[in-house]
Amino acid sequence: MIVVMRRGAEKAEIEHMAQRVESLGLKAHVIVGEERTVIAAIGDKREEMKESLESGPGVAAVMPILAPYKVASREVKPESTQVVVRDLKVGAGSLGVIAGPCSVESEEQLITTARAVKKAGATALRGGAFKPRTSPYAFQGMKEEGLKLLAAAREETGLAIVTEVMSPEDVELVAKYADVLQIGARNMQNYRLLEACGRVDRAVLLKRGPAATIDELLLAAEYVLNEGNQNVMLCERGIRTFEAHTRFTLPLATVPYLHQKTHLPVVIDPSHGTGHAYLVEDMCAASVAVGADGLIIEVHPKPEEAMSDGYQSLNLEQFAHTMAKCRKVADALGIEM
Amino acid sequence: MIVVMRRGAEKAEIEHMAQRVESLGLKAHVIVGEERTVIAAIGDKREEMKESLESGPGVAAVMPILAPYKVASREVKPESTQVVVRDLKVGAGSLGVIAGPCSVESEEQLITTARAVKKAGATALRGGAFKPRTSPYAFQGMKEEGLKLLAAAREETGLAIVTEVMSPEDVELVAKYADVLQIGARNMQNYRLLEACGRVDRAVLLKRGPAATIDELLLAAEYVLNEGNQNVMLCERGIRTFEAHTRFTLPLATVPYLHQKTHLPVVIDPSHGTGHAYLVEDMCAASVAVGADGLIIEVHPKPEEAMSDGYQSLNLEQFAHTMAKCRKVADALGIEM
Amino acid sequence: MIVVMRRGAEKAEIEHMAQRVESLGLKAHVIVGEERTVIAAIGDKREEMKESLESGPGVAAVMPILAPYKVASREVKPESTQVVVRDLKVGAGSLGVIAGPCSVESEEQLITTARAVKKAGATALRGGAFKPRTSPYAFQGMKEEGLKLLAAAREETGLAIVTEVMSPEDVELVAKYADVLQIGARNMQNYRLLEACGRVDRAVLLKRGPAATIDELLLAAEYVLNEGNQNVMLCERGIRTFEAHTRFTLPLATVPYLHQKTHLPVVIDPSHGTGHAYLVEDMCAASVAVGADGLIIEVHPKPEEAMSDGYQSLNLEQFAHTMAKCRKVADALGIEM
Amino acid sequence: MIVVMRRGAEKAEIEHMAQRVESLGLKAHVIVGEERTVIAAIGDKREEMKESLESGPGVAAVMPILAPYKVASREVKPESTQVVVRDLKVGAGSLGVIAGPCSVESEEQLITTARAVKKAGATALRGGAFKPRTSPYAFQGMKEEGLKLLAAAREETGLAIVTEVMSPEDVELVAKYADVLQIGARNMQNYRLLEACGRVDRAVLLKRGPAATIDELLLAAEYVLNEGNQNVMLCERGIRTFEAHTRFTLPLATVPYLHQKTHLPVVIDPSHGTGHAYLVEDMCAASVAVGADGLIIEVHPKPEEAMSDGYQSLNLEQFAHTMAKCRKVADALGIEM
From A251, A287, A331, residue closest to C251, measured CB to CB: A251
d(CA A89, CA C22): 62
D13 pLDDT more than 90: no
B156 pLDDT more than 90: yes
pLDDT of residue A64: 76
> What is the DSSP secondary structure assignment for residue D56, as one 8-state letter?
S
Set of chain D residues whose Cβ sits within 8 Å of the Cβ of B257: 245-246, 279
> What is the DSSP secondary structure assignment for residue C265, as one 8-state letter?
-
Set of chain A residues whose Cβ sits within 8 Å of the Cβ of D241: 242
Per DSSP (E only), the strands in B80-157 are 83-85, 88-90, 96-100, 124-126
Q: Per the CB < 8 Å rule, is D31 touching A42?
A: yes
Sequential DSSP letters for D272-319? HHH--HHHHHHHHHHHHHHT-SEEEEEB-S-GGG-SS-GGG-B-HHHH
**Cβ neighbours of residue C313 under 8 Å, at least 6 residues apart?**
C101, C102, C271, C277, C298, C299, C300, C303, C306, D55
| B23-37, C188-202, D33-47, range with greatest mean pLDDT | C188-202
d(CA C68, CA C90): 25
CA A72 to chain centre: 12
D48 CB within 8 Å of a chain C CB: yes
Residue B45's pLDDT band, with cuts at 50, 70 and 90, is low
Q: Most B CBs within 10 Å: which of A170, A186, A227, as the mutation test of the B interface?
A: A186
Q: What is the mean pLDDT of chain B?
A: 92
A63 CB neighbour count, 10 Å cutoff = 16
Question: What average pLDDT score do residues D159-187 get?
Answer: 97
Residue A264's pLDDT band, with cuts at 50, 70 and 90, is very high
B331 CB within 8 Å of a chain D CB: yes
pLDDT in tens, C261-291: 999 999 999 999 999 999 999 999 999 999 9
Nearest CA in chain C to B8: C75
Touching D: which chains, 3+ CB pairs < 8 A? A, B, C
pLDDT of residue C62: 77
A241 CB within 8 Å of a chain C CB: yes
| A37-51, D11-25, D288-302, range with greatest mean pLDDT | D288-302
Q: Across the strands, what pairs with A164?
A: A182
A228 φ/ψ sector (left φ>0, alpha ψ -120 to 50, else beta): left
B317 CB within 8 Å of a chain D CB: no
CB-based contact A180:A203 (threshold 8 Å): yes
pLDDT of residue D275: 94
pLDDT of residue D46: 52
Question: What average pLDDT score do residues A264-273 get?
Answer: 98
A45 pLDDT more than 80: no
C58 CB within 8 Å of a chain D CB: no
d(CA D114, CA D102): 13
Residue C215's pLDDT band, with cuts at 50, 70 and 90, is very high
Set of chain D residues whose Cβ sits within 8 Å of the Cβ of C166: 191-192
| A22-26, B6-10, C150-154, range with greatest mean pLDDT | C150-154
From B34, B42, B75, residue closest to C31, measured CB to CB: B42
Residue A48's pLDDT band, with cuts at 50, 70 and 90, is low
- What percent of chain D has a predicted confidence (pLDDT) above 90? 73
From C34, C42, C63, residue closest to B31, measured CB to CB: C42
3-state secondary structure chain A: CEEEECCCCCHHHHHHHHHHHHHCCCEEEEEECCCCEEEEEECCCCHHHHHHHHCCCCEEEEECCCCCCCCCECCCCCCCCCEEECCEEEECCECEEEEECCECCCHHHHHHHHHHHHHHCCCEEECECCCCCCCCCCCCCCCHHHHHHHHHHHHHHCCEEEEECCCHHHHHHHHHHCCEEEECHHHCCCHHHHHHHHCCCCEEEEECCCCCCHHHHHHHHHHHHHCCCCCEEEEECCECCCCCCCCCECECCHHHHHHHHECCCEEECHHHHHCCHHHHHHHHHHHHHHCCCEEEEEECCCHHHCCCCHHHCECHHHHHHHHHHHHHHHHHHCCEC
CB-based contact B291:D291 (threshold 8 Å): no
Nearest CA in chain D to C222: D136
> For the range C168-173, what are the long-range contacts, defined as Cβ-Cβ under 8 Å and sequence gap of 24 or more?
C168/C192, C168/C193, C168/C195, C168/C196, C168/D167, C168/D169, C169/D168, C169/D169, C169/D192, C170/C130, C171/C196, C171/C197, C171/C200, C172/C200, C173/C144, C173/C147
- Among A124, A30, A112, A51, smallest CA distance to A85 is for A124
d(CA C220, CA C215): 9
Interface of A with B in 136-175 (CB under 8 A): 136-139, 166-169
Q: Which run of H or of E encompasses D179?
A: none
Residue D62's pLDDT band, with cuts at 50, 70 and 90, is confident
pLDDT of residue D41: 79
Touching B: which chains, 3+ CB pairs < 8 A? A, C, D
Low-confidence winner among A199-203, B186-190, D54-58 (lowest mean pLDDT) = D54-58
D45 pLDDT more than 70: no
A46 pLDDT more than 70: no
pLDDT in tens, A54-90: 777 778 777 777 778 889 999 889 999 999 999 999 9
Question: What average pLDDT score do residues D36-53 get?
Answer: 68
Q: How close does chain D come to B83, measured CA to CA in Å?
A: 22
C118 pLDDT more than 70: yes
C185 CB within 8 Å of a chain A CB: no
C2 CB within 8 Å of a chain B CB: yes
Can you tell me whether residue B85 is helix, strand or coil?
strand
B76 CB within 8 Å of a chain C CB: no
Per DSSP (E only), the strands in chain D are 2-5, 27-32, 37-42, 59-63, 83-85, 88-90, 96-100, 124-126, 160-164, 180-183, 203-207, 232-236, 266-268, 294-298
Residue B49's pLDDT band, with cuts at 50, 70 and 90, is low
Q: Most B CBs within 10 Å: which of A45, A73, A311, as the mutation test of the B interface?
A: A311
Q: How close does chain B come to A4, measured CA to CA in Å?
A: 14
d(CA D11, CA C335): 46
Low-confidence winner among A305-319, B217-231, D114-128 (lowest mean pLDDT) = A305-319
Domains and CATH numbers, chain C: 2-63 (3.30.70.1140), 83-333 (3.20.20.70)
Q: Most B CBs within 10 Å: which of C65, C75, C239, C249, as the mutation test of the B interface?
A: C65
Q: Per the CB < 8 Å rule, is A216 touching B137?
A: no
From C31, C42, C43, residue closest to B29, measured CB to CB: C31
Greatest distance between any 2 Cα atoms in chain D: 76
pLDDT of residue A52: 66
Distances (CA, A) of D94 to A141, C265, D84, D116, D266: 59, 52, 10, 21, 11
Q: How many CB pairs under 8 A join B and D?
A: 122
Residue C117's pLDDT band, with cuts at 50, 70 and 90, is very high
Question: What average pLDDT score do residues D246-256 get?
Answer: 97
CA C41 to chain centre: 32
* Length in residues, chain D: 337
Q: Choose between D311 and A297: higher pLDDT.
A: A297
pLDDT of residue D134: 84
pLDDT of residue B44: 62
Q: Across the strands, what pairs with C128?
A: C103
Question: What average pLDDT score do residues A219-241 get?
Answer: 97
**Cβ neighbours of residue D35 under 8 Å, at least 6 residues apart?**
A44, A66, A75, D7
Residue B139's pLDDT band, with cuts at 50, 70 and 90, is confident
pLDDT in tens, D99-140: 999 999 999 999 999 999 999 999 999 999 998 888 888 888
Q: Choose between B9 and C323: higher pLDDT.
A: C323
pLDDT of residue D1: 76
- CA-only gyration radius of chain C, Å: 23
Buried-state track C233-272, b at ≥16 Cβ within 10 A, e below 16: bbbbbbbbbbbebbbbbbbbbbbbbbbebbbbbbbbbbbb
**Cβ neighbours of residue A214 under 8 Å, at least 6 residues apart?**
A254, A257, A258, A261, C243, C245
Q: Which amino acid is at A322?
A: T
pLDDT in tens, C3-22: 888 878 888 988 888 888 88
C132 CB within 8 Å of a chain D CB: yes
Q: Per the CB < 8 Å rule, is D252 touching B255?
A: no
pLDDT of residue A6: 82
- Among B30, B226, B283, smallest CA distance to D290 is for B283
Q: How close does chain A come to D66, measured CA to CA in Å?
A: 8
d(CA C112, CA C273): 25
Q: Across the strands, what pairs with C294?
A: C96, C267
Q: Most A CBs within 10 Å: which of D242, D243, D248, D262, as the mutation test of the A interface?
A: D242
- Among A210, A200, A201, A128, smallest CA distance to A168 is for A200
Q: How close does chain A come to C199, measured CA to CA in Å?
A: 31
* ipTM of the shown complex: 0.93
Set of chain A residues whose Cβ sits within 8 Å of the Cβ of C332: 328-329, 331-332
- What percent of chain B has a predicted confidence (pLDDT) above 70? 97
CB-based contact A239:C242 (threshold 8 Å): yes
D51 CB within 8 Å of a chain A CB: no
B223 CB within 8 Å of a chain A CB: yes
Residue B50's pLDDT band, with cuts at 50, 70 and 90, is low
From B36, B40, B244, residue closest to C244, measured CB to CB: B244
A308 CB within 8 Å of a chain B CB: yes
Residue C52's pLDDT band, with cuts at 50, 70 and 90, is low
Low-confidence winner among A255-264, B80-89, B214-223, D136-145 (lowest mean pLDDT) = D136-145
A123 pLDDT more than 90: yes
CB-based contact D330:D289 (threshold 8 Å): no
Distances (CA, A) of B147 to B142, B287, C316: 8, 29, 63
From C137, C211, C223, residue closest to D48, measured CB to CB: C137
D63 pLDDT more than 80: no
